[in-house]
Amino acid sequence: MRDEELLRYARHILLDDVGIEGQTTLLASRVLVVGAGGLGSPVCLYLASAGVGELVVADDDTVELSNLQRQIMHTNDRVGMPKVDSARTAVAQINPDTIVTALEKRLDSVSLGEQVSQVDLVLDCCDNFDTRHAVNQACVTHQVPLVSGAAVRFEGQVCVYDTRQETSPCYHCLFPQGHDVTPTDCATMGVFAPLVGIIGSLQAAEAIKVLTGIGQPLVGRLVIFEARRSHWHEVKVPRDPVCPVCAQRPPPI
């Protein structure tokens, strides 16, 4: 580790649970972030500041004025710019050593499989169920841990799905894909600005924990935050033994 890196990450290195070994692991990590909006903003900024070596950021949207109320990675002078390019600019200003691979597209099942197979961890920061289920399928297939977050109105949630572990559920175990699920959209329902920062920051924390092997990640535990009362609630999430996505998972890699 270079002297500049020792200085930049000194406060991490001082933590016994992280140390030189954990920080070196972060520097060598490659992470896929699906969505560069409200949740993806704090995720990208904190993972870059923490020293994750490469962020692959996928989003097909451009920065709009209405995004700036909560999507803190983007700025007024970048309205109209692809969000992934804005993400690259923001990350470079925080940590020029973090590589940002920008994918200006909505990933389909094929491209998701290609990208997921090449990373150490995935963060689901998107805003629709179809993409969430496609991301989950790719993570189960390639046995890559998934940190999933969601936020709308005044409520957000985070859970970690790591099917490398025998007892871990997948996203489908908790939210089965079907026509009875009503999509939520902050464009029509609204979202409390700091909420996405809270949930996205928790996603970043869980990602760092999974990558470095510290603490107890939220595997099999859904954490829900209600902002009006500042109330946290945890729900145990068991694995579905007949889940069509993860029941026949391959042996651990």
Does residue 236 register a pLDDT over 50? Answer: yes
122 Ramachandran zone, left/alpha/beta (phi>0; psi -120 to 50): beta
Q: Among residues 186, 208, 149, which one has the least CA distance to residue 31?
A: 208
Q: Coil, strand or helix: which one is 163?
A: coil
For the chain, strand residue ranges (E) read 30-34, 54-58, 99-103, 121-124, 146-152, 155-161, 221-226, 231-236
Element of type H or E holding 208: helix 193-212
Q: What is d(CA 73, CA 70) in angstroms, rounded to the nearest whole number?
A: 9
Mean pLDDT of 120-140: 95
Fold category of 3-236 in CATH: Rossmann fold (3.40.50)
Residues whose CB falls within 8 Å of the CB of residue 196, separated by 6 or more in sequence, listed in order:
37, 38, 39, 41, 42, 70, 71, 151, 156
Q: What angle do CA 218, 221, 223 make, to 5 degrees?
A: 85
**63-72, 86-95, 183-192, 225-234: lowest mean pLDDT where?**
183-192
CB 56 within 8 A of CB 119: yes
pLDDT confidence bin for 180, thresholds 50/70/90: very low
- What are the tokens at 38? 């409200």
Return the C-alpha torsion angle 51, 52, 56, 61, nearest 10: -50
Tell me the one-letter amino acid at 104.
Answer: E
Q: What is d(CA 136, CA 144) in angstroms, rounded to the nearest whole number?
A: 9
Residues whose CB falls within 8 Å of the CB of residue 107, separated by 6 or more in sequence, listed in order:
34, 58, 115, 131, 134, 135
Mean pLDDT of 37-58: 98
Q: What is d(CA 253, CA 188) in angstroms, rounded to the nearest whole number?
A: 42
Does residue 179 register a pLDDT over 60? Answer: no
Element of type H or E holding 147: strand 146-152
pTM of the full structure:
0.95
Q: What is d(CA 142, CA 128) in angstroms, rounded to the nearest whole number?
A: 22
- What are the tokens at 47? 């993972």
Does residue 217 register a pLDDT over 60? Answer: yes
Mean pLDDT of 232-240: 96
Mean pLDDT of 123-129: 93
Q: What is d(CA 115, CA 104) in angstroms, rounded to the nearest whole number?
A: 13
Q: What's the number of CA atoms in the CB half-sphere (13 Å) around residue 52?
A: 30
Q: What share of the chain is helix, strand, coil (3-state, %, to 5)?
A: 40, 20, 40
Q: Tell me the pLDDT tens digit for each residue of 63-111.
A: 999 999 999 999 999 999 999 999 999 999 999 999 999 999 999 889 9
Give residue 22's pLDDT.
97
Q: How many Cβ atoms sit within 10 Å of the Cβ of residue 131?
A: 18
For the chain, the domains span 3-236
pLDDT confidence bin for 188, thresholds 50/70/90: confident
